[in-house]
Amino acid sequence: MTQSLMTEVSVGSPKECVRHRIGLFGHFGDINFGNESTLQSLLYHLRRNLPNSEITCICTNPSAAGRAYGIATLPMNGLVLKPLWLRRNSLARFVRRLVVGIPSEPYRWLQALRALKRMDVLIVAGTGLLTDLSGLLNWGPYSVFKWSLMARVCRCKLLFVSVGAGPVYGPAGRFLVKAALRLANFRSYRDAATKQFLTDLGIQTRDDRVYPDLAFSLPKSALPTDPVRRGARPIVGLGLMLYAGRQSVDRPSEAVYADYLESLVVFVRWLLAHDYDVRLLTGDICDRPAVGHFVELLKERSVLYEEGRIIDDPVLSVEHLLWQLSNTDVVVATRFHNVLLALLLNKPAISISFHQKCDSLMSAMGLSEYCQDIKHLGSERLIEQFCELQKNAPWLKSLIEEKTEQFRNDLDDQYNVIFKEILTG
C-alpha cells in the first residue's frame, strides 16, 4: 500500500485535536507479506480514525518498515537480521549470544522503557508472536513479554488485536505467553481455535473476543481489479511454501515436505494436460527456495510444457502479491495469507493446511471441504477438490463475497472498540 493511499482518509473529525502516541508491535519489514498486509491494514484504519496520531512501529526489520511506510521505527530486538554466516553457524550464534547478547540485554530493556514512556498505547498485532516454534528469543515470546511488561510499567495501554497463538512446546514459552497476555488491557483472537488453545493454556478468556484476521480489513481501494488477460487459458495460482513442520508437530519429518512437492508435481502435470496455465506464488521471502525445489522436481519427473505455461515472477511486496493473485482464476496455496488474500479478491481457493489457522479460516469461510492437511496431502484428492471447486465456482464466489464483507464489518466493529479504548482514559 502506498503512502498516498494511506493518507486517503476522511478529515475534519474532532479526534484530530488529540495527538495520540501509538506503538505497533509485530514481525514487520518486507519479509513476510501476510504480516505486511496486517501492518498496512492497521496503518490505514489508524490514519482514518485517528489522523493526528504519532505512530511508531516496533518490528523485526525497522529500516525496511520505515522506508516503506514513512513512520518512525524501533528494533524489536538487538540484532535485526542476522547475516547468513551467523544463521548457519550454531557455535558462532552461541558465542555471540554469550559475548554480546546477554550483556546487552539490560540496555535493551532500558530502550524499551524509554520508548514506551513516550507512548499512550501499544498494539500487538497478530504476526506469529505467541509461539515458541522458533525458540524463545528473537522471533519468540520473550520479546512480547519484555515489551508488554515495560508497557504496563509505563502505564501504556496494551492491546492484543486479532492475534493467533500456538504451538507452544516448552514450559518457558507457556509461561511467557501467559504472562504477556495477562498484562493486556484488551485481547482479541483471530479465531475460536486460538481462544480455546489459550483457555487450555490457563488464560481466562471469557471476556475476550474473536474477530477475523486484520488483513480482511485492507481497504478496497488497495485491491486490484481483474487485469486484462494475456492468454485464453485459465490460470491456477499455486502457492508454495518452504515447509516449517514445527508449525504443527514438535518433531517434523523432512519426508512431509518431499511428499508435498511430489503431490504438487502430479497436480501440475494434470493441470497442464487439462489446458490450465500455472502461476507460482509465494508469501514470504524464505519461500523462494521452495520454488526452486519445485521447478527442479518438475524437470526430474519429465513434466514438459511450453514456455509461458508456468509463470514464475518473484513476489516483491504485498501489492505485487495482490496483483499476481488478481491474475489467477483459482488459487491452491499453502501460506495462510496467500489463501486469505485470494479470498479477499473473491478467488475460489483450496488451502493446503500446515497449521490450525488454515483450517479455521476455511471453516469460517464455509469452505472446509476445500482444505487438506499438508501431512497427508494426496494428489488424487487435490484434483477431486479442484474439479469440485471449478464446478461450484459461481456459487462459491457469491459465498466468498458475502463472508469477506461480513468480516470487514466485524473488523470495523473491532476498530471502533479499540479506538474507544485509546480515546478514553
pLDDT in tens, the chain (425 residues): 544 444 444 333 444 556 899 999 999 997 899 999 999 999 999 999 999 999 999 999 999 999 999 999 999 986 444 454 445 555 554 445 544 445 678 888 899 999 999 999 999 998 889 999 888 887 789 999 999 999 999 999 999 999 999 999 999 999 999 999 999 999 999 999 999 999 999 999 999 999 999 999 999 999 998 766 666 899 999 999 998 777 877 788 889 999 999 999 999 999 999 999 999 999 999 999 999 999 999 999 999 999 999 999 999 999 999 999 999 999 999 999 999 999 999 999 999 999 999 999 999 999 999 999 999 999 999 999 999 999 999 999 999 999 999 999 999 999 999 998 887 65
Residues 6+ apart with CB under 8 A from 416: none
Q: Residue 3: enclosing H or E segment and its boundaries?
A: helix 3-6
How far apart CA 82 and CA 87 sit, in angstroms, is 6
DSSP annotation of 97: I
Q: How many CA atoms lie within 13 Å of 333's alpha carbon, on the beta-carbon side? A: 32
Which of 10, 53, 59 has its CA nearest to residue 32?
59
CB 65 within 8 A of CB 30: yes
Which three three-digit cell numbers place residue 136?
A: 524463545
DSSP annotation of 210: E
pTM metric for this prediction: 0.91
* Residue 425 identity: G
Residue ranges matching CATH 3.40.50.2000 in the chain: 3-92+102-221+406-423, 227-391
| Maximum Cα–Cα distance across the chain | 66
Q: Residue 41: enclosing H or E segment and its boundaries?
A: helix 33-49
First and final C-alpha spacing in the chain? 32
Among 3.40.50.300, 2.60.40.10, 3.40.50.2000, 2.60.40.60, name the CATH number for the domain at 227-391.
Answer: 3.40.50.2000
For residue 188, the cross-strand partners are 209
Which three three-digit cell numbers place residue 16?
A: 484530530
Which of 286, 217, 268, 226 has its CA nearest to residue 383?
268
Domain 3-92+102-221+406-423 falls under CATH 3.40.1160.10: no
Task: Characterize 167-189 residue by residue with b for buried, 16 or more Cβ atoms within 10 angstroms of its Cβ, and e for exposed.
Answer: bbeeeebeebbbebbebbbbbbb
Which three three-digit cell numbers place residue 106?
A: 539490560
